[in-house]
Structure 1
Amino acid sequence: MDRTRLALTAVAAVLALPLVTAAQHADRTPFGDRFDRRTAPTSASAFDPVRIRGAAVEAYDRGTGTRRWTYTRRDSRPLALYRAPGHAFALWADGMITDTGPQRVRWHRAVPGLAGWLAERPGRAAGVLQPLDAQARMLAVVIPERVSAFRAADGDLRWLLPAHPGCAFDPGRTARTRGVLLVAQPCGGPGAPGPERAAVDGLGRITPGRTPLGNDLPFSGRGARPE
C-alpha cells in the first residue's frame, strides 16, 4: 500500500513539472509583456487598425472588425500610439517605448526621465512619438531634455539631440515641412541664448554641411528584416 501511494505521489510530481515550469516562464516574461494573438496574421494585417483600449493596445481586422491581437504590460498602460504599416509604436506610462508587429512585440526601449515627466501630467504624451520620414523608418521620441531617434526595424538608437542649455523641447509644438520635423525649443526668457526651434530629420539635426551617418540595417542596404 505504501509503495503504491509512493508511486502515485512520484507520478503526480512528474506531471506537475510542466505546469510549474510554465508558471515560472510566465513570471519571467520580459518587461511584463502579454501578447495574445487571436487570429493568424495575413498580408493585410500590416495595415489593420490599431487602437488603445483601456490598458491594452489592440489590432482589428480591417474587413471584419475581428480582434487580431491584444498587447498589455504588467503594471503599466499605453498613453499614446503611432501607427505605420507593419508597426504599432506605443508610449507607456512607465517611460517604455515598444514596437509591435502582426505576430509579436519587436522591441522595447526605456527613455531616461520620461516616466517621471509623464507622471506629473499624463496628457503630455501627445506629440512625444514623432515619425521622421514618410515610411516611418525612423521614430523620434521628444521630451524636454532631448530628442532620441530610433530605427523602426530593430529599435537601435541612432542619434540624440540634447536641448540647448537653458532651453527645453516642447513635444506639443511641432510642425512638418518638406520632410523636416520642426520642434519648438523655448528658452528661459527674453535674450536667453539658443534657438527657438530645432529642425531634424531621420539623419539628425539639420545643419549646413552636415555629414551624418546612415540609418540602414547592417545586414541589408535598405528596409527592415522580415517579420
Structure 2
Amino acid sequence: MSWKSRALSPRSILPALAVLLVLVAGAAAHANKPVPFGDRVAARGVADASADPTASLDAADLDLRVGPGLEAYHRATGEHAWSYQREGATALHLKMAGENAVVVWDDGLVTSVRPGDHQVRWHRAVPGLADWLRGAGEPGADKRTEEQREQLAAERAAAALHTVRESAPWVAVVTPELTMGFRDADGDLRYNSKPPGNCVYDPERTVATDFAVLVPRSCANSAGQPVSGGISGYRLDSSGWQLNAGPAVEMEALDERRVLISDGPIVAPKVFDTRAAAPEAACGSPAEPFAAVRPGSGCGADGARETRER
C-alpha cells in the first residue's frame, strides 16, 4: 500500500485556525478574568512562589497586622513576609481561629487566611454588617469626620468578630440585627439568629470564651422603654442556651471557660461556666453541695473577691 501526500488547501486550514483562535481567545479571557472578591496576595522579595520561605512557617512565626489589608512580618527579623489585600476594601480587625487568621473588612466580608502559606481559605458575607460598621443612618452619622468614621468602624469590627477554640475552631459574627456562626474548617454556616420582637443584639457587650459566645440582647416595650432582655449562648459542638437578664446586664470573661454576669444592684453577680453550660454555685449557698458546677476555688470571707480575680 502506498501513501500519497496531499497539500492542504486554504479551505481545509480555516476550521483549524478557527478552533485555534477560539482557544487563544478563551485563554486570554481566563487570564484577564477579575479575581473573585478582589483578592491580591503578594509575597515580598520572592521571585519563585514555589520557593517561598513562608510556606513552611507556623502562624506563631508571623506577626499579623491589619491595614489596609492583612500584613505579615517575620517575628524573628521584623521583615515584611507577605501582604494580602482586597481591591476596594479595608481590613479592620483580625482574630485567630486556631492556626488561621480571620479578618473583618469594611464592606461586610469576613475572610479566613492560613498565615503559613498566605492562602485565602474562605469568604463569607454578613448581611447588614457593612452598614453597622459605618453607622449608616444613625443620628449624627453625617456629622462625623472621616477619622471618626474609621475609628467607629474599627471598634465595631472588634466587637462583631469572635472566635472559639473548642472543640474545633469556629467564628461568630454579631451585629444588632443578626448573629451568625461559621465553622472555620470550611466556612460552613452553622447557625444564624435574629433577635426576637423589639430586641437587638449588643455586640459591644458580647463575650467569648474557648467554648462559647454569649450575646446579650436589649429589648424595649411598645413605648420604647427598656425592659428585661436576655443572653443567648452559642456553641457548635452542642445546643446553646438562653439566660434571663435585665436591660443593663454586664459580662466579663474570667478565664477560658467562665464568665462573670452582673445584672444590677438587686441580683447578686453569678459565674456561668460555658464548658458545662451551667452556672457555677456561689460560695456558701445552700445549693452548693448539689450544684452541677462547684466553685472554682475555696470559699471563705474573700470568696466573692477570689471568684472575680480568678
Settle same-fold status: TM greater than 0.5.
yes
Partner residue of 1:83? 96
User: Which moved further from structure 2: 125-134 or 175-184?
Assistant: 175-184
Partner residue of 1:200? 234
Q: How big is each residue's C-alpha offset from its partner over 1:1-48, in whole Å with a ceiling of 9 and x where there is no partner?
A: xxxxxxxxxxxxx9xx89x938x6355100111011234234433222
Partner residue of 2:87? 74
Partner residue of 2:35? 29
Partner residue of 2:196? 164
Contact 2:43–2:83 (8 Å) recurs in 1: yes
Structure with more helix by fraction:
2
Partner residue of 2:123? 108
Between the aligned partners of 2:211 and 2:190, the Cα distance in structure 1 is 18
Between the aligned partners of 1:201 and 1:148, the Cα distance in structure 2 is 11
User: Which moved further from structure 2: 168-177 or 158-167?
Assistant: 168-177
Kindly provide the amino acid, as one letter, of the partner of residue 21 in structure 1.
A
Query: SS of the residue aligned with 2:31?
Result: helix
Bigger-Rg structure (1/2)? 2
Contact 2:163–2:170 (8 Å) recurs in 1: yes
Cα distance change, pair 89–131 in 1 and its aligned pair in 2 (3 A): same
Q: 2:134 aligns with which of 108, 119, 122?
A: 119
How many residues are treated as equivalent by the alignment?
Answer: 189
Cα drift, residue 49 of structure 1: 1.9
Question: Looking at both structures, which has the greater relative contact order when contacts are Cα pairs under 8 Å and sequence separation is at least 6?
Answer: 1
Cα drift, residue 178 of structure 1: 7.4
Partner residue of 2:214? 182
Contact 1:126–1:171 (8 Å) recurs in 2: no
Unaligned segments of structure 2, at least 5 residues: 1-20, 45-51, 136-151, 244-310
Between the aligned partners of 1:186 and 1:111, the Cα distance in structure 2 is 21
Partner residue of 1:128? 160
Cα distance change, pair 191–73 in 1 and its aligned pair in 2 (3 A): closer
Cα drift, residue 64 of structure 1: 1.9
Query: SS of the residue aligned with 1:186?
Result: strand
Cα distance change, pair 191–173 in 1 and its aligned pair in 2 (3 A): closer
What TM-score do you get using the length of structure 2 for normalisation?
0.54
Between the aligned partners of 1:177 and 1:34, the Cα distance in structure 2 is 33
Contact 1:143–1:169 (8 Å) recurs in 2: yes
Alignment RMSD: 2.8
What TM-score do you get using the length of structure 1 for normalisation?
0.72
Cα drift, residue 75 of structure 1: 0.7
Contact 1:132–1:202 (8 Å) recurs in 2: no
Cα drift, residue 113 of structure 1: 1.1
Cα distance change, pair 178–89 in 1 and its aligned pair in 2 (3 A): closer
Partner residue of 1:152? 184
Between the aligned partners of 1:171 and 1:44, the Cα distance in structure 2 is 34
Query: SS of the residue aligned with 1:185?
Result: strand
Partner residue of 1:55? 68
Kindly provide the amino acid, as one letter, of the partner of residue 102 in structure 2.
F
Q: How big is each residue's C-alpha offset from its partner over 1:73-120, in whole Å with a ceiling of 9 and x where there is no partner?
A: 011101111124421100001100001113211111111111111122
Between the aligned partners of 1:177 and 1:59, the Cα distance in structure 2 is 26
Cα drift, residue 174 of structure 1: 1.9
